[in-house]
Amino acid sequence: MAATMKDLAKRTGLGIATISSYFNGGNVREKNRIKIEEAIEELHYEVNEVARNLKRNATKTIGVVIPELNNIFCSEIITEMEDVLRNHGYATIICDCRTDKKLEKEAIEFLMYKRVDGIINMPVDTAGKNLQIVQKQRKPIVLLDRQIMDLQCDSVLVDNEAAAQKAVSYLIENGHSNIGIIGGPREVYTAQERMNGYVLAHKKHNLDIRESLIYHGDYTIKGGVNGVEELVQKNPDMTAIFVTNYEMTMGAVIGVNEMNIKIPEQISLIGFDNLQFARACSPKLTIVAQPTKSIAQEAAGLMLKRLGGNNGEEMAEAEPEYQTIRLQTSMIAGKSVINLK
């Protein structure tokens, strides 16, 4: 017959409460910890995780819902986040909603049916309706990269406005005044912030903005190709382009190559994310790099905090204030920007 907690208590002379505190990660005196661990080894005690989690109403799983699994930004975050959560005893269930609000809703409902302990979401539905079921069940939510203004939860963001302003200012400081931008979808939070940064850089340097220099893409490779083609066609005097995500950066490079336009002699280019791709390009691209590792670590940390640290307890009542962590990007210089001065 398998040993029980009562057997451990009898073997150590300690109370059930002390034994339970040890297994739940609570504070236990060192001499008592040694006694318990010796008894565990001697009695071959094994923790019944299923029963333990059912009693706690916890599954030690976290649901993660992202727009595109094949997006390098998303995949890098997931990889790091899984490592952090795994080290604290949590498994993850990853759902790719393909940037579809309906699929996102179905994914969240599926995860709640699976009784995940919390949801980490890079939201497609900017109104937050898809997360209402999570709120009703009082499960913690951590938003990634995108904010939902009316939703009370933790979030980890990048200062996209500052990132875009810095990139465009760099082009201006190198003598460029007719600068195109391949932005993201108008309704997406990150796209709005990056477009704001583009506008602020022009205002800072007293430059007018032409609507013909602005293209709203869809965060896909095809969107980048289409964006470059349209910007070049409409703006023969354009000397530089800022591309606001990785997939569209790839598309922009493809489009430029197909039109036999030389970088940076004819068009200077600043892209977004993926240092390896930037290095593979000739010439090496100047890019805005997001801190994916820090984003993942902060998101996992916020979720663990809401779940009671390492113990997997229910969401703490003593944590009423939600946190918004905003991280900074860096710009990695390549050879894709020519100085016109």
Whether pLDDT at 268 is above 70: yes
75/234 Cα distance (integer angstroms): 35
* Residue 256 CA, distance from chain mean position: 29
- State the DSSP H helix or E strand holding residue 240, giving kind and residue range, or none if neither: strand 240-243
Q: What is the pLDDT of residues 194-244, one digit of tens each?
A: 999 999 999 999 999 999 999 999 999 999 999 999 999 999 999 999 999
Whether pLDDT at 4 is above 60: yes
Cα distances (angstroms) measured from residue 131 to each of 20, 65, 121, 152, 318: 34, 11, 9, 11, 22
Q: Give me the pLDDT at residue 71, please.
A: 84
83/268 Cα distance (integer angstroms): 38
- The model carries a pTM of 0.80
Q: Give me the pLDDT at residue 72, please.
A: 85
The pLDDT of 104-109, averaged and rounded, is 96
> Exposed, middle or buried by CB within 10 Å (0-12, 13-18, 19+), for 270?
buried
Lookup result for tokens 């990150």: 190
Contacts of residue 146, Cβ cutoff 8 Å, sequence gap at least 6: 122, 123, 126, 157, 188, 189, 190
Q: What is the pLDDT of residues 147-187, one digit of tens each?
A: 898 899 999 999 999 999 999 999 999 999 999 999 999 98
